[in-house]
Amino acid sequence: MIKENQRVLNQLNIFTDGTIILLAMVIAYVLRFFVFKGQSGHITLESYISLGFVVIPVYLLVYTGFGLYESFRRKDFSQELGLIIKSNFIGIILLLTCLFIFKKIDLSRWTLVFFFIINILGTASKRFFVRDILKKYRQKGYNIKHVILIGDGALAKDYLNAVNKNKSLGFSIMGYISSFNKLKQLRHLGDYDHIYETIELFNADEVVAALEADEFHLLPQIINDCEKAGTKLSVIPFYSKFMPSNPYMDEIEDIPLINMRHIPLDNVLNSMAKRIMDFTGSLILIVLASPMMLIAAIGTKLSSPGPVIFKQERVGLNKKSFTMYKFRSMRINTVGATGWTTANDPRKTKFGSFIRKFSIDELPQLFNVLKGDMSLIGPRPELPYFVEQFKESIPLYMVKHQVRPGMTGWAQVNGFRGDTSIEKRIQHDIYYIENWSLIFDIRILFLTLFKGVVNGEKL
């Protein structure tokens, strides 16, 4: 039943995506030539509608290529949104290329810009709306994927807890297969000698193998039994706690290799795209923020004797030290090399507390970004003293130095900044590093405006 439901959902998705593409073309035409009073020349609405019907199959093929008609049950909406934007970029490039080669129609450039934006917004809104409906639908017990669990150890318990916590995912565990009856809260379906018969009897949509290290020799048999029954198999590796959130597969002479720390920014094109965004963004922000920085500089100078800019050594990309800039918020000669600022720190000036409250003291770091020492988005850089201390006591702490440090980051917009849990900060930093995309960076920038600028600093 679940497979039939997925097929129906895919068909509806294809139909509605095609409809949105056509409507986006019509709305783009109306905006350009009726709202903004552009000159349409000899190109009529009918011509744009005809073009829309040509564009629809091309876009749907691109959507298919990007996996937009696969199940997103386990994936976050941000991943789906990223694929929608990427596929629309490819779609518009293909459209422009075809128009240039065949020189058939002299289209309005603004109409194409409107079409591009409207189609992304329309497709994303529809997908978000469908997700919300399916989430509520599954919470009521409909559109459920029935799963048989293999194993009864710690991995099986973790999977069971995860499914029970997230009812909206729509997974129902029918029972489990193992040699022992350890999971009392779940139905025991049989032992390892009768895996195929059990799968056939219960007709599950999916089998999840959660084998411990000493049971992994059973995997070939499980794969064979699932393929024989025509049932999808997912495997939780016994070393899953050491794996990144998005494992990267490579190979040498047909020997598969799992990169235990895949970093998208290791890709040259990704790195270049981020650097271009950092350079351009920091330049624009320096110009826009220059009046505020001038006021902050005057206020800092008048608040207490000492330099306006506070310079401090921090550890950055590839563990290399750099000088980070901030507006000075403390009295001179009171900031020790290892001093961690606290909420009621007596070293802070009143004006310093104010600029810290609204993150104005961080603005000089835009010059760090311009120089290439930092990025707009990334893990926050730390003092060398703390790096030496934390690398011994905090697991995975040094992974954060595989990318440029940032002015703001995923940890900060989730409330982990300043005197907060280092472990939580590192968890969020590693999630960011392994799941980086330009869309993710833009999302963090917007979240920073609403959640990261004003902090809990006491005035």
Q: Which CATH superfamily is domain 145-242 in?
A: NAD(P)-binding Rossmann-like Domain (3.40.50.720)
Cα→Cα distances 455→132, 358, 411, Å? 31, 7, 13
- Show the 3-state SS of 41-83: CCCCHHHHHHHHHHHHHHHHHHHHHCCCCCCCCCCCHHHHHHH
Cα→Cα distances 124→79, 130, 428, Å? 11, 10, 26
Minimal CA–CA distance to 354: which of 334, 330, 380, 333? 330
- 371 and 282 Cβ atoms separated by less than 8 Å: no
Minimal CA–CA distance to 432: which of 246, 240, 269, 276? 246
Minimal CA–CA distance to 14: which of 139, 170, 127? 127
Give the integer Cα–Cα distance in Å for 302 and 279: 32
What contacts 151, CB < 8 A, 6 or more positions away?
176, 177, 178, 209, 210, 211, 212, 215
Q: Where are the domains of the chain?
A: 2-139, 145-242, 266-452
pLDDT by 10s per residue, the chain, length 459? 445 566 777 788 899 999 999 999 999 988 888 887 766 555 677 888 888 888 999 999 999 888 888 876 667 788 888 889 989 988 888 888 877 776 665 677 888 899 999 999 999 999 998 888 877 776 666 667 889 999 999 999 999 998 888 776 778 899 999 988 888 889 999 999 999 999 999 988 899 999 999 999 999 999 999 999 999 999 998 887 777 666 777 788 888 887 777 788 988 888 999 999 999 999 999 999 999 999 999 999 998 888 999 999 999 999 999 999 999 988 876 544 455 565 566 677 888 888 888 889 999 999 999 999 999 999 999 999 999 989 888 878 998 999 999 999 999 988 887 767 888 999 999 999 988 988 889 889 888 887 766 665 665
Rounded to 10 deg, the angle between the 45-65 and 2-30 helix axes is 140
Q: State the DSSP string of 387-443.
A: HHHHHHHSTTGGGGGGS--EEE-HHHHTT--SSS-HHHHHHHHHHHHHT--HHHHHH
- Paired tokens of 75: 């994936």
Q: Which residue has the tokens 């950055």?
A: 316
Minimal CA–CA distance to 210: which of 155, 158, 163? 155
Give the integer Cα–Cα distance in Å for 326 and 360: 9
Q: What is the pLDDT of residue 1?
A: 47
| DSSP type of residue 339 | P
Helices and strands, number each (H, E), in the chain: 14, 11
Give the integer Cα–Cα distance in Å for 295 and 293: 5
Q: What is the pLDDT of residue 198?
A: 93
- Paired tokens of 205: 């949509």
Dihedral of alpha carbons 161, 162, 166, 171, sign: negative
